[in-house]
């Protein structure tokens, strides 16, 4: 057994003293940490890297991830960085952008690229995208790769998916970030992507907003890319705090404030 294999074996040891000693050693040697991570993710014998190693890599990469997120120049760039909280050091953008391109072509081929409502109807009806009512706070509901795979997510991420479709198809649509909910807006009205693209009346919006404020107008202004990304990061902060995952919650908070 070589050095890296020995480290991987020890990472599965339940003895706290062994874990603390090993993690201190990896934390003090970035090169050794990198080699251990490459070995853990390259062998088919290890389907998922040891949780302790994942936490170490998250800590080591935290500053670089926050900096990259702060420098993200548009919504899609930031969307593919967020999943690194779940699986660090992975390229989610290459495969993810290709998946969105393919989905946009499906929308176009189906004749559903006419407007925001037809896109929403295709996503909700033909593709089955809808909100996760059963496990709402699951962090996977905020990560686009898993939203595409599971066909469910939070209101904001489903609305972001709809926005990214609209941008690919050159359709005029916007996101509205209300308190506690995010909706889509197009020239024909409002849509709730969490409810499969259901049309929402202005009266319903006013009733929702009155719970929080007597002034509706600020909440009906379009949400910019950075505001949406920060809100997604805040959702992750709360989700990880509820799961007592302090490392991921701390990094998510850093993302939300940059």
pTM, entire model: 0.92
Model confidence at 27, pLDDT cuts 50, 70, 90, reads confident
Give the residue, 214 or 158, on which the prediction is more confident: 158
Model confidence at 255, pLDDT cuts 50, 70, 90, reads very high
Model pLDDT, residue 46: 47
Model pLDDT, residue 208: 82
State the angle between helix axes of 51-71 and 3-11 in degrees (0 to 180), rounded to the nearest 10: 100
Model confidence at 13, pLDDT cuts 50, 70, 90, reads confident
Q: HSE on the CB side for 137, CA within 13 Å?
A: 8
CA distance 88 to 83: 8
Residues paired with residue 177 on neighbouring β-strands, in sequence order: 182
Residue 52 tokens, joined: 């302790």
CA distance 111 to 119: 9
Give the residue, 247 or 24, on which the prediction is more confident: 247
- Burial 49-71, CB ≥16 within 10 A → b, else e: bbebbbbbbbbbbbeebbebbee
CA-nearest of 142, 39, 130 to 84 is 142
Give the residue, 46 or 86, on which the prediction is more confident: 86
pLDDT at 136 over 70: yes
- Give the mean model confidence (pLDDT) for residues 8-28: 85
pLDDT at 44 over 80: no
Helix ranges restricted to H, the chain? 3-11, 16-27, 30-42, 51-71, 75-79, 93-109, 116-121, 144-150, 155-169, 202-210, 225-242, 246-256
Model confidence at 20, pLDDT cuts 50, 70, 90, reads confident
Region for residue 189 given its phi and psi (left: phi exceeds 0; alpha: psi -120 to 50; beta: otherwise): left
Residues in the chain: 258
- Give the mean model confidence (pLDDT) for residues 13-30: 85
Give the residue, 88 or 17, on which the prediction is more confident: 88
Which range has the worst mean pLDDT, 2-6, 33-37, 80-84?
2-6
CA-nearest of 187, 174, 164, 172 to 104 is 164
Whether 85 and 145 have beta carbons less than 8 Å apart is answered as no
Which range has the worst mean pLDDT, 19-23, 51-55, 114-118?
19-23
The DSSP-derived string for 84-152 is GGTSTT---HHHHHHHHHHHHHHHHHTT--SSHHHHHHIIIIIS--EE-SSSTT-GGGG-HHHHHHHSE
Q: Which residues contact 170 (CB under 8 A, 6 or more apart)?
A: none
């Amino acid at each position: 057994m070589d050095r890296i294999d020995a480290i991987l074996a020890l990472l599965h040891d339940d003895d706290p003293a062994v874990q603390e000693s090993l993690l201190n050693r990896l934390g003090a040697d970035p090169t050794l940490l990198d080699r251990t991570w490459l070995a853990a993710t390259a062998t088919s014998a290890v389907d998922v890297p040891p949780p302790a190693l994942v936490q170490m890599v998250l800590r080591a990469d935290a500053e670089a991830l926050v900096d990259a997120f702060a420098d993200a120049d548009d919504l899609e760039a930031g969307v593919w960085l967020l999943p690194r909280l779940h699986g660090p050091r992975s390229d989610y953008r290459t495969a993810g952008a290709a998946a969105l391109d393919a989905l946009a072509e499906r929308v176009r081929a189906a004749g559903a690229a006419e407007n925001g409502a037809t896109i929403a109807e295709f996503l909700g009806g033909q593709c089955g995208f809808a909100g996760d009512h059963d496990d709402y706070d699951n962090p996977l509901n905020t990560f686009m790769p898993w939203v595409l795979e599971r066909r469910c997510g939070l209101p904001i991420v489903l609305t972001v998916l709809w926005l990214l479709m609209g941008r690919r198809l050159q359709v005029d649509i916007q996101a509205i970030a209300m308190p506690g909910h995010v909706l889509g807006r197009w020239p024909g009205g409002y849509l709730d992507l969490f409810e499969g693209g259901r049309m929402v009346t202005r009266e319903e919006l006013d009733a929702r907003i009155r719970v929080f404020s007597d002034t509706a107008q600020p909440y009906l202004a379009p949400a910019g890319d950075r505001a949406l990304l920060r809100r997604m990061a805040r959702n992750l902060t709360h989700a990880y705090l509820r799961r007592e995952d302090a490392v991921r919650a701390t990094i998510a908070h850093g993302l939300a404030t940059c």
